[in-house]
Structure 1
Amino acid sequence: MLPWKRLIRPLAALLLASAVTVVPATTAEAADTADTADAPRWGSPRSSAAESGGGWNDYSCKPSRAHPRPVVLVHGTLANSVDNWLGLAPYLVNRGYCVYSLDYGQLPGVAFFNGLGPIDKSAEQLDAFVDKVLAATGAAEADLVGHSQGGMMPRYYLKFLGGAAEVNALVGIAPSNHGTNLGGLTELLKYFPGVGDLLSSSTPALADQVVGSPFMTKLNAGGDTVPGVTYTVLATKYDEVVTPYRSQFLNGPNVRNILIQDLCAADLSEHAAIGLIDRIAFHEVANALDPAHATPTTCLSVVG
């Protein structure tokens, strides 16, 4: 990938951070109905668009004996509960899983682009959503699959919000587990006074994911994992967002770290594609959810 292309997504994030600081309050009021007017500034509840169809978020679904745990999909930064999962959700539904996805980390007046609020508050939203899914399905535990921030944020829920008692497995696809330097872009922040404060105040999730942030320090203090949960990390060496890519890997028991190119050297997926369309990665997700029936993942898995 050409160097200038590596900067597109990080620069887009910075531009979004700038844009939300000038969104008039009246815009938020016009976009949200009266029932959300009294909601908290960060993470105001909104229904998932996927609830209306698409084969997932079907609350009448009952887990089967073959797949006894519902799967909760956790989108990434600047994504949402539908678009992030147009590939993986049907893939899992077609294999007999009860699949659910949530929206989290919403900003006032910013539609469509979620996962931007404080990550600890987003973890609280995930906690509530998992409770809802378990109540609806009657399952004792869920499995979580997340992309980017969505592969890392659940670790806060597992570690600090009691999630380990409700979760069997966490699969992170290109997760920002130890933060990112955005290909070195964050090193430039010190030369632009005020930009760091802009990120923290307007798009907290971006600031939380910078290497060495207070959030990252708290999340990873005392170890990456918690007992009772199995962890799988799927990374691509072409990742241009969570960099360096090996920072995505976890240390601890019950961890499997996978570089997708070790399974198929011809896989050229970068940060977005590995979560959106990469059926080689999807095959490994299925293996992680049902390790007793795992099958080898190869380049031919794209047609599986």
Structure 2
Amino acid sequence: MLPWKRVLRPLAALLMTAAVAAVPATAAHASPVHATTARVSAATSSAPSHGWNDYSCKPSAAHPRPVILVHGTFANSVDNWLSLAPYLESRDYCVFSFDYGQLAGVPLIYGLGPIDKSAEQLSAFVDKVLAATGTAKADLVGHSQGGMMPRYYLKFLGGAAKVNALVGIAPNSHGTTLGGLTKLLPYFPGAEDVLNLATPALAQQVVGSDFMTKLNQGGDTVPGVHYTVIASKYDEVVTPYQSQFLSGSDVKNVLIQDLCSLDLSEHALLGVTDRIAFHEVANALDPAHASPTTCASVLS
């Protein structure tokens, strides 16, 4: 076996494990339904899906901004949000999601392309949603890469003028070590080049990458945007988990186990099924009516 394959195999295995874990158990065990859902995801930017992406939705006085959900790496605009989108919609939010980071010849899974280009796709989608809803600003909620990529949009593409809040669920804010595996890459000639060529977004999310250096240079945040980070100490993908937290004058960093010590959710589950995390998302979107998040919030 070539040396770089020995590195890429555990890296790919861990990332693919996260991708598989991101699919709710009910979908994973009903393959025809799951396949249909995945096919639908490609069209979600222009058609209703599971009650969200309704371009006739007009934000209410109570929740005056649309919420745009930004999926993570190896995910898509449907599977990542099968629980959170209905959760927010039932609370009278106009909810939208889209696919980004497509690679040619790779169907159904997204978030793999260059992150700066994905941020351009986000910019176009925000403009589309604002035009449809007649609003001046949106709120963004993202999982994993989806909680980090919007910061490029805010910082370099003028997004701060169009976004009120960014809520990152297990965001890769400062790069990941993947539990130390990424430290092995320099010892295997060609491994980094293969990773960058095959899946640019993965290479850019490694701690110390040129992309991460540019993103965080000069500070984590930009004025005028409210930031919330929701992290789990059991995260096995974005490591160390403390690297997810942001620094800035308008930042709320939340460790989910500080709210409910019984919550064992790791990286994928925190964004896909964790209703305690969802309660914190709701608080971040409507801080004037926030209520304490506890273990009992799973019932809300």
TM-score by length of 1: 0.86
Instruction: Give CA-to-partner distance per residue, 1:156-185, whole Å, 9 cap, x none.
Output: 000000000000000000000000010101
Secondary structure of 2:122's counterpart equals: helix
Secondary structure of 1:216's counterpart equals: helix
Instruction: Give CA-to-partner distance per residue, 1:55-96, whole Å, 9 cap, x none.
Output: 100000000000000000000000000000001000000000
Superposition pairs for residues 47-62 of structure 1, below 5 Å?
47-48=43-44, 51-62=47-58
Q: What residue number does 2:113 align with?
A: 117
Q: What residue number does 2:291 align with?
A: 295
Check the 8 A contact 2:65/2:137 in 1, yes or no: yes
Give the number of aligned pairs. Answer: 269
Of 95, 99, 105, the match for 2:95: 99
Query: Structure 1: 5+ residue runs without aligned partners?
Result: 1-6, 17-45
Instruction: Give CA-to-partner distance per residue, 1:224-272, whole Å, 9 cap, x none.
Output: 0000000000000000000000000000111000000000000000000
Secondary structure of 1:233's counterpart equals: strand
Distance change in 2, residues 1:54/1:8 (3 Å): farther
Distance change in 2, residues 1:8/1:148 (3 Å): farther
Q: What residue number does 1:189 align with?
A: 185
Q: What residue number does 1:26 align with?
A: none
Q: What residue number does 2:78 align with?
A: 82
Check the 8 A contact 1:10/1:241 in 2, yes or no: no
| Whole-angstrom distance in 2 between the partners of 1:106 and 1:12 | 20
Of 195, 204, 209, the match for 1:199: 195
Of 141, 145, 149, the match for 2:141: 145
Letter in 2 for 1:212: G
Q: What residue number does 2:236 align with?
A: 240
Check the 8 A contact 2:45/2:97 in 1, yes or no: no
Distance change in 2, residues 1:150/1:9 (3 Å): farther
Check the 8 A contact 2:14/2:237 in 1, yes or no: no
Instruction: Give CA-to-partner distance per residue, 1:14-56, whole Å, 9 cap, x none.
Output: 789xxxxxxxxxxxxxxxxxxxxxxxxxxxxx53278343010
Q: Which moved more, 1:259-268 or 1:189-198?
A: 189-198
| Whole-angstrom distance in 2 between the partners of 1:58 and 1:160 | 29
Q: What residue number does 2:222 align with?
A: 226
Give the % identical residues.
75
| Whole-angstrom distance in 1 between the partners of 2:10 and 2:164 | 33
TM-score by length of 2: 0.87
Q: What residue number does 1:159 align with?
A: 155
| Whole-angstrom distance in 2 between the partners of 1:271 and 1:221 | 26
| Whole-angstrom distance in 2 between the partners of 1:56 and 1:253 | 33
Q: What residue number does 2:176 align with?
A: 180
Give me the CA root mean square deviation. Answer: 1.7
Query: Do residues 132 (structure 1) and 99 (structure 2) align?
Result: no
Query: Do residues 286 (structure 1) and 282 (structure 2) align?
Result: yes
Cα offset for 1:209?
0.3
Q: Which moved more, 1:169-178 or 1:187-196?
A: 187-196
Check the 8 A contact 2:45/2:53 in 1, yes or no: no
Superposition pairs for residues 28-67 of structure 1, below 5 Å?
47-48=43-44, 51-67=47-63
| Whole-angstrom distance in 1 between the partners of 2:211 and 2:278 | 29
Superposition pairs for residues 1-12 of structure 1, below 5 Å?
10-12=11-13
Of 59, 65, 71, the match for 2:67: 71
Check the 8 A contact 1:50/1:56 in 2, yes or no: no
| Whole-angstrom distance in 1 between the partners of 2:181 and 2:50 | 37
Q: What residue number does 1:33 align with?
A: none
